[in-house]
Amino acid sequence: MASLSPTVTQLDSAWRVLRQRWENAKSLWNDPVRWNFEKDHWTPLESQVQATQREMERLAQVIAQAQRSVT
């Protein structure tokens, strides 16, 4: 069974890049449209990504434990 570690690492890396780009965009885009985008889209996405990262790490631990018990 394959490890989830590379996938977790890829997600973390992509999220860091996206978050940095969002910070750059925020410094240039400061109006009600941006505030609504942040409230309606960015903040929920941020919560979803963090929850996904936590669950993937938990699943990776379960997979590792299952692999150890099989061998």
User: Residue 1: its pLDDT value, please?
Assistant: 53
The answer to whether the Cα torsion of 14, 19, 22, 24 is positive or negative is negative
pLDDT of residue 71 exceeding 90: no
Mean pLDDT, residues 55-70 taken together = 90
Chain Cα centroid distance, residue 5: 14
Is 61 or 16 the better-scoring residue by pLDDT? 16
CA distance 26 to 18: 12
User: Residue 26: its pLDDT value, please?
Assistant: 95
Nearest to 43 by CA among 17, 20, 29, 22: 22
